[in-house]
Structure 1
Amino acid sequence: MGEPLFTKRRARLARCGPRQRVPVVDSARLFGVLLTVAVSSAQAQTETKTDDAKLQDLMALLEQETELATRSGMNADFVPGMATILIGEDLMARGVRNVGEALTLVPGISQGLEMTGERQILSRGIGYGYASGNLKVLLDGVSMNSTLYATANPVLNIPIEQVERIEVIRGPGASVHGEYAFAGVIDVITRKRQRNLSAQAMDGADHGGGGIWYWQDPERDLSASFNVLGLDGDGGVDVDGDALHALGQPALSHAPGPSNETHRYRALFGHLHWGDFFAAVKVLDDDYGDYFGINHFLPPDKDQLASRQGYYSLQLGANLQLGERLSTRLRLEALRYQRDRDDLFVFPPGYLIDDSVTMSQDYQETRYLAAADIHWRPNERHQVLFGLEASQVEVDEATWEWPESFAIDYPWLDDSRNRRVLSLIAQDEYRISDRVTLTGALRVDDYSDADTYLSPRLAAVWRINSEHILKLQFAQAFRPPTFYELEYPADGRGLEAGEIATYELGYVLRKPNWKGRVILFQSDLTNQIIFGDQNSGYINSADARLRGIELEYEQRLGAHLRFDANLSFVDSHDFGTGRPLPGGTDLLGNLALLWRPLEPWTAALQLSYVGERERRVGDERAPLDAYTTADLTLSYSSASESGLYAHLGVKNLTDADVRYPEQYASFAGVPLTYVDDYPRPGRRWWLSVGYAF
Structure 2
Amino acid sequence: MQNRVREPAPGPQGLIQLASILLAASLVPTLAPGSVRAQTAEADSDASLQGLMTLLEQETRLATKNGMNADFVPGMATILLGQDLIARGVRNVGDALALVPGISQGLEMTGERQILSRGVGYGYASGNIKLLLDGVSMNSTVFATANPVLNIPIEQVARIEVIRGPGASVHGEYAFAGVIDVITVKQQRTLHGQAMEEGEYGGGGAWFWRDPERDLSFSVNALGLEGDGGVAVAEDALYGVDLAELSLAPGSSNESRRYRGLFADLRWGDLFAAVKVLDDDYGDYFGINHFLPPDDSRLASRQGYQSLQLGADLELSQRLSTRLRLEALRHHRDRADLYVSPKDYFLPGQPVFMSQDYQETRYRASADLHWRPNPRHRVLFGLEGSHVEVDEATWDWPEAFAIDFPWLDETRNRQILSLVAQDEYRLNDRVTLTGALRLDDYSDASTYLSPRLAAVWRMNSGHILKLQYARAFRPPTFYELEYPSEGSIDAAEIATYELGYIIRRPFWRARLILFQSDLTEPIVFSDEANGYINNADARLRGVELEYEYRFAADLRVDANLSYVDSVNRGTDRRLPGGTDLLGNLALLWRPVEPWTAALQLRYVGERERRVGDPRAPVDAYTTADLTLSYGSASRRGLYTHLGVKNLGDADVRYPDQAASLGGVELPYLDDYPRPGRRWWLSVGYAF
Matched, 1:386 2:381: yes
- The one-letter code matched in structure 1 to 2:154 is I
The residue number in structure 1 matching 2:69 is: 75
Residues 168-217 of structure 1: CA distance to partner in whole angstroms, max 9, x if unpaired? 00000000000000000000000001100010000000000000011111
SS of alignment partner, residue 181 of structure 1: coil
Matched, 1:298 2:292: yes
**8 Å CA contact retained: 2:48, 2:553:** no
1:639 deviates by 11
Matched, 1:213 2:236: no
Q: TM-score, normalised by structure 1?
A: 0.92
The residue number in structure 2 matching 1:371 is: 366
Matched, 1:243 2:237: yes
Candidates 399, 407, 423, aligned match of 2:394:
399
Matched, 1:94 2:88: yes
The residue number in structure 2 matching 1:431 is: 426
* CA spacing shift, 1:39–1:427, aligned 2, 3 Å: closer
Deviates more, 1:248-257 or 1:406-415: 406-415
The residue number in structure 2 matching 1:691 is: 685
- The one-letter code matched in structure 1 to 2:265 is H
Gaps of 5+ in 2: 1-34
1:411 deviates by 5.6
**8 Å CA contact retained: 1:38, 1:559:** no
Candidates 248, 255, 277, aligned match of 1:283:
277
CA separation in 2, counterparts of 1:658 and 1:53? Answer: 41
Matched, 1:334 2:340: no
- The correspondence of residues 502-581 of structure 1 with structure 2, limited to 5 A, is 502-533=496-527, 536-581=530-575
SS of alignment partner, residue 170 of structure 2: helix
Gaps of 5+ in 1: 1-36
* CA spacing shift, 1:637–1:38, aligned 2, 3 Å: farther
The residue number in structure 2 matching 1:267 is: 261
SS of alignment partner, residue 61 of structure 1: helix
**8 Å CA contact retained: 1:534, 1:665:** no
Residues 106-144 of structure 1: CA distance to partner in whole angstroms, max 9, x if unpaired? 000000000000001000000000000000000000000
CA separation in 2, counterparts of 1:410 and 1:292? Answer: 25
**8 Å CA contact retained: 2:52, 2:507:** no
SS of alignment partner, residue 175 of structure 1: helix
Matched, 1:415 2:424: no
SS of alignment partner, residue 256 of structure 2: strand
CA separation in 2, counterparts of 1:511 and 1:692? Answer: 34
Residues 379-438 of structure 1: CA distance to partner in whole angstroms, max 9, x if unpaired? 000000000000000000000100011123666100000000000000000000100000
1:577 deviates by 1.2
CA separation in 1, counterparts of 2:575 and 2:444? Answer: 29
The residue number in structure 1 matching 2:53 is: 59
Deviates more, 1:607-616 or 1:353-362: 353-362
- The correspondence of residues 338-357 of structure 1 with structure 2, limited to 5 A, is 338-354=332-348, 355-357=350-352
Matched, 1:458 2:458: no
- The one-letter code matched in structure 1 to 2:438 is R
- The correspondence of residues 149-168 of structure 1 with structure 2, limited to 5 A, is 149-168=143-162
* CA spacing shift, 1:214–1:51, aligned 2, 3 Å: closer
CA separation in 2, counterparts of 1:414 and 1:54? Answer: 59
Residues 618-656 of structure 1: CA distance to partner in whole angstroms, max 9, x if unpaired? 100000000000000000006993110000000000000
SS of alignment partner, residue 341 of structure 1: strand
Matched, 1:111 2:85: no
CA separation in 2, counterparts of 1:52 and 1:373? Answer: 40
Residues 568-613 of structure 1: CA distance to partner in whole angstroms, max 9, x if unpaired? 0000000111100000000000000000111110000000000000
SS of alignment partner, residue 489 of structure 1: coil
Runs of 4+ more than 4 Å apart: 37-41, 50-54
* CA spacing shift, 1:331–1:426, aligned 2, 3 Å: same
1:38 deviates by 11
**8 Å CA contact retained: 1:173, 1:477:** yes
Candidates 484, 508, 522, aligned match of 1:489:
484
CA separation in 1, counterparts of 2:509 and 2:642? Answer: 29
1:459 deviates by 0.1
SS of alignment partner, residue 443 of structure 1: strand
In the alignment of these two chains, the number of paired residues is 652
CA separation in 1, counterparts of 2:37 and 2:537? Answer: 60
- The one-letter code matched in structure 2 to 1:237 is V
* CA spacing shift, 1:536–1:433, aligned 2, 3 Å: same
* CA spacing shift, 1:53–1:558, aligned 2, 3 Å: closer
Matched, 1:669 2:663: yes
**8 Å CA contact retained: 2:265, 2:272:** yes
Q: TM-score, normalised by structure 2?
A: 0.93
SS of alignment partner, residue 390 of structure 2: strand
1:58 deviates by 3.2
**8 Å CA contact retained: 1:534, 1:666:** no
The residue number in structure 2 matching 1:362 is: 357
SS of alignment partner, residue 97 of structure 1: coil
CA separation in 2, counterparts of 1:421 and 1:101? Answer: 32
CA RMSD, aligned part only?
1.7
* CA spacing shift, 1:407–1:321, aligned 2, 3 Å: same
- The one-letter code matched in structure 2 to 1:556 is R
Matched, 1:589 2:580: no
SS of alignment partner, residue 363 of structure 1: strand
**8 Å CA contact retained: 2:129, 2:174:** yes
CA separation in 1, counterparts of 2:46 and 2:463? Answer: 22
CA separation in 1, counterparts of 2:37 and 2:125? Answer: 56
**8 Å CA contact retained: 1:534, 1:667:** no
* CA spacing shift, 1:560–1:454, aligned 2, 3 Å: same
Residues 294-335 of structure 1: CA distance to partner in whole angstroms, max 9, x if unpaired? 000000121100000010000000000000100000000000
